[in-house]
Structure 1
Amino acid sequence: MISVIIGVMKKLYVDHLAEKKIRRGIQLLDGRDFQNVTGSDELVNLHNSKGQFLGTAYLSNQNKGIGWFLSNQTLDLTKEYFVALFQQARQKRHSYEKSDLTSAYRVFNQDGDNFGGLTIDLYGDYALLSWYNPFVYNLSAVIVDAFQTVYPEIKGGYEKIRFKGLDYESAHLYGQESPDTFTILENGVRYSVFMNDGLMTGIFLDQHEVRDSLVNGLALGKTVLNMFSYTAAFSVAAAMGGASETTSVDLAKRSRELSQAHFDANGLPTDNHRFIVMDVFEYFKYAKRKDLKFDVIVIDPPSFARNKKQTFSVVKDYHKLIAQAVELLNPKGTIIASTNAANMTVEQFKKQLEKGFGSIKHSYIDLKQLPGDFATNPADVSSNYLKVYTIKVNQ
């Protein structure tokens, strides 16, 4: 068991630059904000170089940063504190809660809801709580208690461990256990999901506005290529939106069975919908040899990937995907270019796209970022990590 210290709070001092960042509203803390301090799984009082109190934070090592600023007040992380946070977050998502067409969405999103290191998603009758560092993980009992107080109607809860150091990734937390797989609704489309199988659930909820655009006109009568398709959720949305055919490409062998499950959930025959297990770059070569063409191409790669032949980084290599996709696009076709790389700004992403298009004429139709349920911290652009451009190619 990882220990967490929440007794007498340690005083820590930050330099002028870190103070400015905190006063600006940025909550994520990193090692450059302190001298010789690492995430130590404790609540701390922060002071500036003159000894003035700045507020309460906690330190704990995680995938990005070493902790989070919480408040300019002294805090006690009681059940009542989390109940108040969850009530405020629930009120913000009132419109999602009242929807008859969507039953899966995010109800708590880190610093967008004023507590970094924790996300909570609803999948129908079940909640999924994700812990991003040991400090939050060790508060799980009080957090779950508070969550059940605010959401008493939720039948059961699961957890995902999104930091290193434990010997499991997923577990049942409380209440009723879900079926191994079950369906949720999103914009009237059914998706097959699972709560307790590694870190994935069968769908990325942050993309529901992009899928909605495919359901509502963008894919009508079109041929669609879905690259890095995972469970082909974009393809199902396109099929429900009247796509004449879809092709879903992913290297993971399990992607075929998971993709089929989404189509089955909607009673969609797959005669015109193909699932191909292949490296995306190899498929680009194959499709070019076969002179395959598509009206819409969806590109949603992982931020970083490595196989035996090459390493792919969104920040450096996204332009290669665009350049190869354009060669497979029908005249007046559309590219949906997506990335969830938090270390890449909108401007940097657009530069990669422009490099990929080169001299080919194109126009940007819209930019989607995180939907409303994925509340963001307006002071920190990295908290709004999702960037999805819809682009009409005028070749």
Structure 2
Amino acid sequence: MTYQQVILRRGKERRLLEGHPWVFSGAVGQHPDGVEPGATVDVLDAEGVFVARGYYNAASSIPVRVLTRNLDETIDANFVRERIRRAIYMRRSWIDQKTTNAYRVVHGESDGLPGLIVDRYADFLVVQFHTLGVEVMRDTVVDVLNELMSPTGIWERSDVGTRRADGLAEFPTGLISGDEPPDLIEVSENRALFAIDVRRGQKTGFFLDQRENRQTLQTFSRDRDVLNCFCYTGGFSIFAARGKASMVVSVDVSQPAIDLVEHNLRLNRFDPETHPCIVANVFDYLKECKANKQTFDCIVVDPPAFVKTQRAIPQATRAYISLNRKAVELIRPGGLLVTASCSTQIDYESFFTIVKHAASAAGRAVQIVKSHLQAIDHPAPVSFPEGRYLKCLFGIVH
């Protein structure tokens, strides 16, 4: 099968040859005529040599997202099936299916299907179609998921801003296939139980990318007073309690989130009276703790993304420094700071620098003992720094 061609500017093929999955608009020297948005195209260098094959969207700042670098590979239903089959196989190999039934099945570019997210929650799947190219593949994706995984139901959560950036005007959510999920789906993560709201919850319902970091916190929590800031539904809180923390305080500005934390505590046979859950603005709560001289042995700081554009980096950096300074000030000597950023625009070294400045401003020293990226089911190609979005540091505060 032949495909229409996108011709790169001279020298712009290097990133693609190194494995990067995106062709930015500035790299394109010649666009094809009459190509349907979302259709497959070949990418050639300035000399006309094949570089990659991907789906095309002239309206996007990333007009081509790479699907394959194999000239002989046709983009069809069999291609989609093989990519999803391989992704499923890897997750089943990496994750203990007896103790964990909530994880990412397909992670976009990292699994060779740019823009496609598929998460498993027990017997249900939640999907997101982030880009026009994968939107065109929608029916094939759903058919393949039903064929390979036989879920009870597939629920869509394509209410994501990335669709707007790709020229899509609709943000669909709802049932795609099978049975509707219950209001709360009960899942297991390393034998901890969580109730997940896939209809209204953040992302697809749960922060699956923090799985290993939650498990790490459990090993540090014995006999400690733990504060979990921006707790959402209590992932870190439950694992701190499982680690035999003396007390876990969970703080979030959302009442529904706090209600779900209390539900999840009870689900795991912990008493919310022992582990209080508080509706509050985290910045205000930390300020109040300082005024009351209340301190903790461990503070988890895992805020939503403070920055989504390059222009916002300076302001976001100041916010991250301020937040981490306030946390460090409240940690007892020898205690633990667990701090994370999910902002793609803040790279790993920048995040280390943020923590350094926060510690200095607080007049404390922080000794990093562990540093993690996102969980194993959220892989990132070495050639795709944008895929390494989550940074999580564990530091002893002196």
* TM-score after normalising by structure 2: 0.89
**Matches of 2:154 and 2:256 in 1, distance apart?**
25
Which stretch of the first structure deviates more once superposed, 28-37 or 184-193? 28-37
Structure 1 unaligned segments of length 5 or more: list them.
1-6
Q: Letter of the aligned partner of 1:372 in structure 2? A: I
Asked whether the equivalents of residues 8 and 30 of structure 2 are also in contact (C-alpha less than 8 Å), the reply is no
Match of 1:145 in 2: 143
- What is the correspondence of 1:155-174 to structure 2 with a 5 Å cutoff? 155-161=152-158, 162=160, 163-164=163-164, 165-174=168-177
Deviates more, 1:269-278 or 1:160-169: 160-169
| Amino acid of the structure 2 residue aligned with 1:11 | Q
CA distance in 1, matches of 2:61, 2:273: 44
Distance 2:61 2:341 in 1: 17
Taking the aligned partners of 1:209 and 1:376, their CA distance within structure 2 comes to: 15
In structure 2, how many angstroms separate the alpha carbons of the residues matched to 1:126 and 1:233?
A: 20
Query: Which letter does structure 1 place at the counterpart of 2:198?
Result: M
Distance 1:66 1:316, change over 3 A: farther
Q: Distance in 2 between matches of 1:115 and 1:174?
A: 20
Aligned to 1:92: 90
Secondary structure of the residue aligned to 2:285 is helix
Name the structure 1 match of 2:333.
Answer: 331
2:392 to 365, 388, 391: 388
39-48 or 174-183, larger mean C-alpha shift: 39-48
- How far is the alpha carbon of 1:118 from its aligned partner? 0.7
- Structure 2 residue 280 is matched with structure 1 residue 278: yes
- Provide TM-score, normalisation by structure 1: 0.89
State whether residues 15 and 49 of structure 1, in contact with CA within 8 Å, keep that contact through their aligned partners in structure 2.
yes
Match of 2:368 in 1: 364
Distance 1:267 1:155 in 2: 28
Q: Which residue of 2 aligns with 1:248?
A: 250
**1:159-188 CA distances to partner (integer Å, 9 max, x unpaired)?**
121323445442111112221112100011
Kindly provide the amino acid, as one letter, of the partner of residue 185 in structure 1.
S
Q: Aligned runs of 1:48-59 on 2, under 5 Å?
A: 48-59=45-56
The amino acid across from 2:14 in the alignment is: K
In the alignment, the residues of structure 2 paired with residue 367 and residue 184 of structure 1 have an alpha-carbon distance, to the nearest angstrom, of: 27
Q: How far, CA to CA, are the matches of 2:24 and 2:111 in structure 1?
A: 20
Partner of 1:4: none
Partner in structure 2 of residue 117 of structure 1: 115
Single out whichever of 282-291 and 86-95 deviates more from structure 2. Answer: 86-95
Out of 161, 165, 179, which is 2:182 matched to? 179
- 3-state SS, counterpart of residue 49 of structure 1: coil
The 5 Å alignment of 1:1-395 reads 9-35=3-29, 40-60=37-57, 65-74=62-71, 75-96=73-94, 98-152=96-150, 154-161=151-158, 162=160, 163-164=163-164, 165-197=168-200, 200-215=203-218, 217-304=219-306, 314-358=316-360, 360-394=364-398
For the 8 Å contact 1:222–1:243, the answer to whether it is kept is yes
Whether contact under 8 Å (1:226, 1:247) holds in the other structure is yes
Q: Determine the C-alpha separation between the residues in 2 that align with 1:366 and 1:62.
A: 42
- For structure 1, which segment, 262-271 or 59-68, has the greater mean C-alpha deviation from structure 2 after superposition? 59-68
Whole-Å Cα distance in 2 between the matches of residues 252 and 66 of structure 1?
Answer: 38
One-letter amino acid matched to 2:104: R
Counterpart residue identity of residue 26, structure 1: H
Question: What count of residue pairs does the alignment treat as equivalent?
Answer: 383
Structure 2 vs 1, CA of residues 331 and 382 (structure 1 numbering), >3 Å: closer, same or farther? same
Q: Within 2, Cα distance between the matches of 1:250 and 1:280?
A: 7
**Match of 1:304, SS?**
coil
What is the Cα deviation at residue 268 of structure 1? 1.7
Deviation at 1:61, TM superposition (A): 8.1
Paired letter, 1:289: A
Tell me if the contact between 1:31 and 1:37 (Cα under 8 Å) persists in the aligned partners: no
Distance of 1:349 and 1:63 partners within structure 2: 29
Letter in 1 for 2:51: L
CA contact (8 A) 2:108 2:114 kept: yes
Deviation at 1:96?
4.5
Give the Å deviation of 1:84.
0.9
Aligned partners of 2:303, 2:60: CA distance in 1, in Å?
19
Task: Report if aligned partners of 1:226, 1:297 keep a CA contact under 8 Å in 2.
Answer: yes
Q: CA deviation at 1:36?
A: 8.4
Q: CA RMSD in A?
A: 2.6
What secondary structure sits across from 2:67 in the alignment? Answer: strand
Percent identical residues = 24
Letter in 2 for 1:393: V
- In structure 2, relative to structure 1, the CA distance for the partners of 1:22 and 1:329 (3 Å cut) is same
**1:18 deviation in Å?**
2.7
CA distance in 2, matches of 1:292, 1:312: 31
Partners of 2:56 and 2:350 lie apart in 1 by 30
Retained in 2: the 8 A contact 1:314–1:339?
A: no
